[in-house]
Chains A and B, each alone.
Chain A
Amino acid sequence: QKEVEQNSGPLSVPEGAIASLNCTYSDRGSQSFFWYRQYSGKSPELIMFIYSNGDKEDGRFTAQLNKASQYVSLLIRDSQPSDSATYLCAVNGFIQGAQKLVFGQGTRLTINP
């Protein structure tokens, strides 16, 4: 089982609709969860982080965390064409005995005008 799993997509959503991106993780000890956005040919940029169960809202973005189900999601309301990108879920985990960020493979999102 991969440490962090995402549906690679592509996910196609009409403009103005809600885009829902999902991520599961395997390490129950993970404490911190992050969503990065990566435009094609560019480097990733952090858009949201969440530590506690429940929802966290920032503008059109809402991160949701359910530690019991080992599930984290990102909702994008009123989707815009500029939201078209790959969204990477990242979870803190242990690599070689040290705590590091582990990334999922990313979900490619396309917003259709």
Chain B
Amino acid sequence: AQSVTQLGSHVSVSEGALVLLRCNYSSSVPPYLFWYVQYPNQGLQLLLKYTSAATLVKGINGFEAEFKKSETSFHLTKPSAHMSDAAEYFCAVSEGSSASKIIFGSGTRLSIRP
């Protein structure tokens, strides 16, 4: 069965600092990987997705993630944090090319210090 593990339930960085949110996956087939963001009292919004086309994936709001098969990782980064980046971030994996469901990690809450 596929799963994702997000390391760190809470990450705090200063405004302007590098953001690094960690995600490791487990999959017996080539995975499709996603990062979603959830702002308070809102639904989830797709930041970016990996579908085997390129290992470095660029998303919205300056975020990007790199797929590393040897490390089974898909960490999310942003060079310079902004106050508006404060939110909950979820890493997710799907169960194959025709899969109907996405499996989410437990989430990482990102706080930005002024």
Q: Does A associate with B in a complex? A: no
A-to-B contact residues, CB < 8 Å: none
B-to-A contact residues, CB < 8 Å: none
